[in-house]
Structure 1
Amino acid sequence: MSLKIDAEVKINSEPCVVAWDNRLFIGTDAGTIETFDEKLSPGPTWAAHGVQLFAIAAGDGRVYSSSNDGGVRVWTANGEKVAELKSTGADIGAIQVFANHVYAGDEDGNVIIYENNAIKAKYQLLEEVKDIALCLPFMFTARDLYVTATEITPEESQTRFTTRHVMEGRAPLRVDGPYLFVIARGGNSLQVHEVSSENAFKKLHEVKVSDMILTSLSASNGFAWTGGWDGYIRRWKVANNQLEAAGDINLGCCVNALVAPSSDNAYVLLTGGRVVCVKVA
């Protein structure tokens, strides 16, 4: 199975981070957020921060962004500012929207949970949080060497948590159904784990994806998408707990980020300002 370019657009800034909520939201190195529909027709653009965005997330008609100003800014889908969320003051490098809550991880090892734009809970995990994935009550966090599986119950405790498992791996990571997808510590292989504390989050399979570093990972409906320095987008299917190749395409330059809203298409941010929609041919 092959992949093809379905649409493409060029923007004037370097695209860095991406989110999807029935629309594409792109954070750039100039501090702007640019929006596009599913065909990559442009929508509203606004100045969100003074410098490069570190993280972006979207859900329920809201967009969440962070930069080196130490907080999370909340926007409507059209760029009107709603709120600025309180933080620890450290730079926030990971944001996820999950089950009506916003999770933000910072460089000091804190994960802050927001509800209705107010802090609901804060957990100090001791290591910089570069990415977060959720399958409650489990929260998975990663930096460069290890992935930590933490059990949290924010309705019961706003500070206490239980570390259930630590495994080798690094950001980025994603949860899709019963599977946890993780980039291996070396940076060029993809692992799939079982989301189960009873089985100690067993690693089911690992495949080498590239000789170069992987920068990007997304997962949807049993498929994972990877991209990195080699310019390839690769699609992977989970079958019988094994990762099987399900299409690839060479886009010719470094992949900065990607997001797959479904199992058969993904939006890819490429160095130099290119934004590409890739679909199954």
Structure 2
Amino acid sequence: MAKIEKESTEKHEGDITCLAYYNNQVFSGGADGKIKIWDNDLNLIKNVDAHEAYIYAMAINERNGKLYSSSCDGCVKFISPPYQQTEQLFCCEDAIQAMYCDGETLYTGDEKGVVTNWVDDKIKFKYNLVEEVKSLAAEKSLIYTVRDLDVVVSDMIAGKSGKYSNKAVLPGKSPLALVGPVIDDKRTFLAFADRTGKGLSFVKNLPQQKFENVWNLPDCHELIIQAICGDEKCLYSGGYDNKVKGWTNFDQSSPKALGEVEVGNCVNALVCGANNQVYIGTSDGIVRRATFL
């Protein structure tokens, strides 16, 4: 059973483009360049004028709560608790469309295919992965990137700036997410949209399993999937069909459906909260909270 429990009483001007969750707070970034901070019940805590243009992506450092955001103006900024004012990390000519925090390490991916590794807000390495980065994740030495045809898993070579080797190339497209229980600091599964954009692929992520396929859900959405998120037990997907669907039983040959919610607008962003709750960012600028039981 799935249902919408809460809706934000205030909204962004235009689309919500990205979401993050930390310390019982929800962060939404929008086409209006603003970051809004909400409590668990979607009461607005703070409104931050973060960028002068459309926000592409956000990533949050789970250890200290520092929130990074990128915009189509080419700038990446950050804001730290108690989230009073943004500071600029850097500005460039290339759009940073994807970001990810692995512990305290930030990864940014741009439209030219360059993934930059940041430690303590300083550039450590740059990796030229050639293809535009639309979705991004990272764990230990691995970087996961995807555009429209293939998910590429790259292994960063220790001690050699910018050197990497390809570990796997999997047919699929943006978005992607690392999900499942954590074993030896690694998520056990990788989920992503298939090449049609309307189905889901689910593969094993632990090193000895060589990205073995677990299951596929072709055409599980009527239209293109825009957002994926997941936790230890559940995976959620949403997109242009205005629906968010939930799945569980990761280690079975086919997953168990947890139900779906209809939100009435295109789903642009998803993020997991607590207690089987998922927050939904849509094209009408409203944040919604759904529960999948």
Q: Which runs of 4+ in 1 moved over 3 A?
A: 77-83, 86-89, 196-200
Contact 2:2/2:261 (<8 A) preserved: yes
* Residue type at the aligned position of 1:259: V
CA distance in 2, matches of 1:272, 1:25: 16
1:156 matched to 2:159? yes
- Residues 73 and 81 of structure 1 are in contact (CA less than 8 Å); yes or no, is this contact kept in structure 2? no
Whichever residue aligns with residue 232 of structure 1, its letter is: K
Q: Is the 8 A contact 2:226 2:238 kept in 1?
A: yes
Q: Does 1:62 align with 2:74?
A: no
Unaligned runs of 5+ in 2: 180-186
- Checking the alignment, whether the CA contact within 8 Å between 1:83 and 1:117 is kept in structure 2 is no
Structure-to-structure mapping, 1:42-191, within 5 angstroms? 42-59=44-61, 60-81=64-85, 83-86=87-90, 89-153=93-157, 156-176=159-179, 177-191=187-201
In structure 2, the residue matched to 1:8 is 7
CA distance in 2, matches of 1:87, 1:51: 13
How many angstroms apart in 2 are the aligned matches of 1:263 and 1:126? Answer: 39
Question: Identity percentage over the alignment?
Answer: 26
Report the alpha carbon displacement of residue 272 of structure 1 after superposing the two structures with TM.
1.3
What do the CA deviations read for 1:81-120 (whole angstroms, capped 9, x no partner)?
A: 4642236641100011112100100001110111111101
> Paired residue for 1:236?
247
In structure 1, how many angstroms separate the alpha carbons of the residues matched to 2:260 and 2:154?
A: 34
Asked whether the 8 Å contact 1:31–1:49 carries over to 2, the reply is: yes
Deviations 1:5-43 (A, max 9, x none): 221114141211111112111111110111101111111
Q: What is the TM-score of this pair, normalised by structure 2?
A: 0.90
Contact 1:44 1:78 in 2 (8 A): no
Using the alignment, how far apart are the partners of 1:134 and 1:111 within structure 2? 10
Displacement of 1:262: 4.2
In structure 1, stretches of 5+ residues that fail to align are: none
- What's 1:246 paired with? 258
Q: 1:207 aligns with which of 217, 220, 235?
A: 217
Distance 2:165 2:89 in 1: 26
1:280 aligns with 2:282: no
Q: Structure 1 counterpart of 2:50, which letter?
A: A
Deviation at residue 80 of structure 1 after TM alignment: 3.5
Q: What's the CA shift string for 1:173-230, capped at 9, x where partnerless?
A: 0112210001101000011011145443122110131121111100101210001111
Structure 1 CA distance for aligned equivalents of residues 247 and 217 of structure 2: 10
Partner of 2:182: none
TM superposition score normalised by structure 1: 0.93
